[in-house]
Amino acid sequence: MTDWVITGLGAVATTAGALTMRNRTRAKLGSGILGFGLAHIILGVLDRTWSKT
């Protein structure tokens, strides 16, 4: 169950980061948020595959 929560929060953070990157003054902040979200999506997917065993 937590794997879906981690993946979902990662998707929300990735979307927020992508929307923040549109503003030139906050592009660095947006790329950091986007990377944070993508990392959580990857961790959620890995958790989903590893928890099956």
- pLDDT tens string, the chain, 53 residues long: the values are 788 999 999 999 999 999 999 988 888 999 999 999 999 999 999 998 886 65
pTM of this structure: 0.84
The domains of the chain are located at: 2-50
What interhelical angle do 2-20 and 27-50 show, nearest 10? 160
What the block records as the tokens of 4 is 């879906």
The residues, ordered by sequence, that sit 6+ positions from 14 with a Cβ below 8 Å of its Cβ are: 33, 34, 37, 38, 41
